[in-house]
Amino acid sequence: MHTLLPVIFAVCAALSNAVATVLQRKAALSVPRSEGLRAGLMLDLLKRRIWLAGILAVIAAGVCQAVALGTGPLTIVQPLFVLELPLTLIVASLLMRRHLPRVGWVAVTAVVAGLGVALAAASPMGNRTHVPLDRWVPALAVCLGLVVALALAALKRPEGRARAACFGAATAISYALTAGLMKAAVHILDDEGIVAFFTAWQTYAFAAVGGGALFLLENAMQAGPLVASQPALTLGDASVSLALGIILYEEHVRSGWWLLPQLLGVVMIATGVFALARMPLTRSVVAPDEPQRVGDAP
C-alpha cells in the first residue's frame, strides 16, 4: 500500500510525458534543422503553439513526478517511465486516428509485462530523504562528465543513428540526474518548508539540469531516427536512475538468483522498446518527409 501512491503518480507522469512527446516532436520537426547545437532552436519552438501545449504537459508531468519521488523510492518511480514510449504510441495513434497494428500491441504487452517482472523481482526498498554533499559531488561530476562527453561525441558525427543515440543517452543521464535532484528538493520542501526549498542548491540544480535535458532532447529528436534515440533514452533513464537510487539514497534491490528474472524483464522491455521504435506509426510521428535545414531555400 505504501508504494501505491508513487506508482499512480509515476504512471500519470509517464502519460503526461507521452502527450508532451507527441506534441513536442511534431513541433521540433516543423522548424529549420541544423548540424550543431543551435540556440535559436528554442526561440523557434516558442513560436509554435503545439510546442507550448507540450510544455504544459511537461509541467503536469513534473508535478506528478515530484509527488511520486516525494512519496516513493527513486528505484520504483523512474523505471515506471519506461511506459512513456508505449503510451506515446497509443496517444499518437488516437490523435492521428490510426490503429496500432497487432505487432504494436504485442510490443506494448512485452514492455508492460517486462517492467512488471523486473520490478517484482527487484522489489526496490528504502526511501532515504537526505543525501550528504560528499555523495552528491562525485555523482554530479560523473553524470555531467558523461553528458558532456556524449554531446561532444554526437556533434562529431553526421546526422543519423549514432548521433541520435549519443544525444539520447545524454538526455537519459540528464533526466535521471534531474529526478535524483528533484527528489532531494521535494524532501527539503516537505521537511523544512518553502524558504529552505528556494534556498537549497538542489532546487536550482534540478531546474538547470532539467532545462539542459530538454535542450538535448530537442536535438535528439532532430538528430536521427527514433529507433536510435528512444531505446537509449528509455533504457538509459531507468538504468542510471536505478544506480543513483542505490548509490545516493541507499535503496536496495534483490540480488542473487533474483537477478535472472530481473534480466528477463529487462530483455522483454528492450525487445518491446526496439519493436515500438521501428513501427511505421512511430516514424510517421517523428520523421518529416523532406527535412529543411538552416540556410535552405523555403
Residue 284 pLDDT exceeds 80: no
Sequence spans of domains, the chain: 4-286
Per the CB < 8 A criterion, the answer to whether 37 and 13 are in contact is no
CA distance 136 to 190: 20
Residue 113 pLDDT exceeds 50: yes
Each residue's pLDDT tens digit, 77-86:
999 989 988 8
Each residue's pLDDT tens digit, 62-82:
899 999 998 889 999 999 989
CA distance 18 to 83: 9
CA distance 132 to 106: 44
Amino acid at position 281, single letter: L
pLDDT for position 291: 39
| Nearest Cα residue to 222 out of 52, 27, 82, 63 | 27
pLDDT for position 178: 94
Amino acid at position 296, single letter: D
Stated pTM of the model: 0.81
